[in-house]
Amino acid sequence: MANKEVGITEVVLRDGNQSLLSTRLKLEDIIPIASKLDEVGYSSIESWGGAIFDSCVRYLNEDPWERLRELKKAMPKTQQQMLLRGQNLVGYKHYSDEVVSKFIEQSAMNGIDIFRVFDALNDLRNIEQSVKAIHDNEKHAQGTLAYTISPIHTLDTWIDLAKQIEDLGCDSLCIKDMSGILSPEYAFDLISELKKIIQIPIHLHTHATTGMSNLTNMRAIEAGVDNIDTSISSMSMGYGHSPTETMIYLMNEKQINSNIDLKDLIPIAEYFDCIREKYKEFEGSMKGVDLKMLINQVPGGMLSNLETQLKALNKEKLLNEVVSEIYEVRKDLGFVPLVTPASQIIGAQALSNIINNKYETLSLEIVDLVLGYYGRLPGEINKDLLDKALLNKESITQRPANLINEKFDSYKNDLKRYCKKLKIKDLSSNDDHILTFILIPYGSEKIFKSLNS
């Protein structure tokens, strides 16, 4: 049954930016609109995490921590939300429990209120430590189902997982549909069932890629969802999300309160209209709706990255072939959901399978994925692929982070040496900078140099 009130999380600064503008939006283009965003009455604003950290350091020459502090300062009334990849933090591999705790402590201290935590494999052992650390810092831990469609993923799979997320102590649940493949009727059934079984609030995150998201969000609301994610109209749809204004209009018609006045959104939409024009070189080529996603389940961000990669290799023609191969590789990996970092690993392998012979070369990452170093795969692994991977090393069944013992302090010395090598002043007394160094060891030279000037 529909709630009388449904919260709206505005995602334009993180996922809207990531899905439509390849995460290139600069802080200086956010600050002028921040106070208006802060006045709207969103339940939260997703402003950090995901690919933002990486993009700040590699492309924008911004200190990601400084960005977070500035965002918090500019939007003090609204809860700031981040996307965290569990034990992978905002990186692409597992970090030790100590590094995970430190990262979360600093994120909380610098301004994050709500942590949406997911694991690409839906292996909850990979989010345990994050949830614990979030609670140690008295912040909101939102556990996540990374939604996918496959012959082995049933309604019961999701309900079991949601129950486990609640049992883990998460404060809310997110259904994360990164590819826009959650259909309206499935969303209705899933949320209706979940509402009978779990007590914590349910949030829906869906993408517009296949054109279903407005209806999916509405059916989710009818089933009793507590919060939906939207993006301001001028930065919506395509690989992105349902427009904030459209969803509020539809909710108003059903007397469902969002605590938001549509009129307050007009100047924000106009502002981002200009921003989108300014950043158009970073947009993917897909316009409108792409139904292929319902067959291949390739998320928006992954497709636009793939396009860019193929363009660089002068092989744009291979796009459809690579997309089909992504499905095959995914099947061979027990139908793992296509989300970071699995999506990157699978994307790269699919590309390699098309350019070279199938599984002729295996990346270190895919070997680790096959052998359990990222966590438990949902289904059965292709035997040939497994045998090939086993030529490299042995497989594991325990929680992967049990094998990782890196001490946070040991990086202090590494960073000290690195600063010496760069001939810049020592940055190793600052925990934020140590974390940047841990997460992006080879890409951090430019940012560290600019921090010194």
| Identity of the residue, 10 or 15, whose beta carbon is nearer to Co ion in the bound complex | 15
Residues with Cβ within 8 Å of 83's Cβ and at least 6 positions away in sequence, in order, are 14, 15, 46, 49, 50, 116, 118
Question: What are the two backbone dihedrals, phi and then psi, of residue 254, each rounded to the nearest 5 degrees?
Answer: -100, 15
Piece in contact with Co ion (CB under 5 A), picked from 8-16, 111-119, 156-164, 420-428: 8-16
Query: In the range 173-192, which residues lie near Co ion by CB under 5 A?
Result: 178
Number of residues that bind Co ion (CB under 5 A): 2
Instruction: Please report, in angstroms and rounded to a whole number, the separation of the first and last CA atoms in the chain.
Output: 57
| Identity of the residue, 111 or 299, whose beta carbon is nearer to Co ion in the bound complex | 299
CA distances 25 to 15, 22, 282, 436, Å, are 11, 8, 10, 19
229 binds Co ion per the rule CB under 5 A: no
| Identity of the residue, 101 or 209, whose beta carbon is nearer to Co ion in the bound complex | 209
DSSP for 63-103 reads -HHHHHHHHHHH-TTSPEEEEE-GGGTTSSS---HHHHHHH
Q: Write down the least CB distance from residue 356 to Co ion, Å.
A: 31
Q: Write down the least CB distance from residue 112 to Co ion, Å.
A: 17
Piece in contact with Co ion (CB under 5 A), picked from 147-155, 171-179, 353-361, 419-427: 171-179
DSSP for 227-240 reads EEEEB-GGG-STTS
Reading the block at residue 342, the tokens are: 């699995």
| Identity of the residue, 216 or 436, whose beta carbon is nearer to Co ion in the bound complex | 216
Q: Write down the least CB distance from residue 441 to Co ion, Å.
A: 27
Q: Write down the least CB distance from residue 266 to Co ion, Å.
A: 25
| Identity of the residue, 145 or 370, whose beta carbon is nearer to Co ion in the bound complex | 145
Q: Give dist(CA 20, CA 192) in Å, integer.
A: 31
DSSP for 384-435 reads HHHHHHHTTS----S-GGGG----HHHHHHHHHHHHHHHT----TT-HHHHH
Q: Write down the least CB distance from residue 239 to Co ion, Å.
A: 9
Q: How far is CA 218 from the centre of its chain?
A: 23
Q: Write down the least CB distance from residue 209 to Co ion, Å.
A: 10
Q: Write down the least CB distance from residue 178 to Co ion, Å.
A: 5
| Identity of the residue, 22 or 444, whose beta carbon is nearer to Co ion in the bound complex | 22
| Identity of the residue, 122 or 428, whose beta carbon is nearer to Co ion in the bound complex | 122
Q: Write down the least CB distance from residue 54 to Co ion, Å.
A: 16
Q: Write down the least CB distance from residue 176 to Co ion, Å.
A: 7
Piece in contact with Co ion (CB under 5 A), picked from 170-178, 231-239, 314-322, 339-347: 170-178
| Identity of the residue, 15 or 368, whose beta carbon is nearer to Co ion in the bound complex | 15
| Identity of the residue, 15 or 290, whose beta carbon is nearer to Co ion in the bound complex | 15
Omega prior to 341 cis, within 30 of 0: yes
| Identity of the residue, 106 or 296, whose beta carbon is nearer to Co ion in the bound complex | 296
Q: Is the dihedral of CA 159, 236, 181, 304 positive or negative?
A: negative
Q: How many CB atoms lie within 10 A of CB 152?
A: 11
Residue nearest to Co ion (CB): 15
51 burial level (CB within 10 Å; 0-12, 13-18, 19+) = buried
The one-letter code for the residue type at 322 is V
Reading the block at residue 26, the tokens are: 């600069």
HSE-up of residue 127 (Cα within 13 Å, Cβ side): 30
| Identity of the residue, 14 or 412, whose beta carbon is nearer to Co ion in the bound complex | 14
Piece in contact with Co ion (CB under 5 A), picked from 9-17, 120-128, 249-257, 258-266: 9-17
H-helix segments, 1-151: 17-21, 31-39, 52-55, 64-74, 97-110, 128-136
Instruction: Give yes or no for a contact between 23 and 56, defined as CB atoms under 8 angstroms apart.
Output: no
Binding mask 296-335 for Co ion (x = CB under 5 A): ----------------------------------------
Q: Write down the least CB distance from residue 402 to Co ion, Å.
A: 30
Query: In the range 10-29, which residues lie near Co ion by CB under 5 A?
Result: 15
3-class secondary structure, 111: coil
Binding mask 60-99 for Co ion (x = CB under 5 A): ----------------------------------------
Q: Write down the least CB distance from residue 223 to Co ion, Å.
A: 20
Q: What is the binding site for Co ion (CB under 5 A)?
A: 15, 178
